[in-house]
Amino acid sequence: MSNISEYFVAKDATINEIAVIYRCFLEAGGQGIGGLTPLLKITNPAGTNVTLVENTDWRKVERSNVNGDYEVIIGISNFTSFGQYTIEIDSQDPGVGKLIAHFTLKGVYGTIVSGASTTGFVTDLASTVTDFYKDSYLLMIGGACDGSGPKKVTAYTSGKAITINALPTAPSVGDAFYLIRF
């Protein structure tokens, strides 16, 4: 029977970002099926399909250790709002079928767009609601501050400016971060 693992999160060098990774075993009639070209469909918490480009936003790897063993690697930047996403991996083989999993984002990926200092910067985050991300924790995942944090978010403006407890050094425009809510 085909199955999908729990996800794990790791940095993926090919798509160059933090990624959500699923291991899948695709089989029919008790045999693992290799050589498939699985497709990926993601539905966001609002029920809308997320547009993804293979080998840019996500990728698949057919592993050679066991016939039918695949990894599906999805860049975290494709999950832009908190909540539960539905992940559908379609084998495109009627004998194998589709696998469905769920991923609940308790964090948001973003980048710095201007005004970078040790205590704040303007972001590309989606919300324009004042203090929407207040009391979240920020973890830098790129640039000179990679791995710094988590730093508490003390304020957020409608202009997408975030204020945090001080980083050890100033980040740069374009550096990536992850906001986490507990």
What mean pLDDT is reported for the chain? Answer: 91
| 55 CB-near residues (< 8 Å, 6+ apart) | 14, 15
pLDDT of residue 91: 96
pLDDT of residue 130: 97
Mean local confidence (pLDDT), 84-92:
96
- Please give the class, per CATH, of domain 3-105: mainly beta
Strands 107-117 and 176-180: antiparallel
Domain positions in the chain are: 3-105, 107-180
Cα-based distances in Å from 13 to 6, 16, 34, 55, 61: 21, 5, 24, 11, 13
pLDDT of residue 18: 75
pLDDT of residue 146: 83
The one-letter amino acid code at 150 reads P
Mean local confidence (pLDDT), 143-172:
92
**132 band by pLDDT with thresholds 50, 70 and 90:** very high
Phi and psi, residue 66, nearest 5°: -140, 130
Per-residue pLDDT tens digits for 27-69: 999 999 999 999 999 999 999 999 999 999 999 999 988 999 9
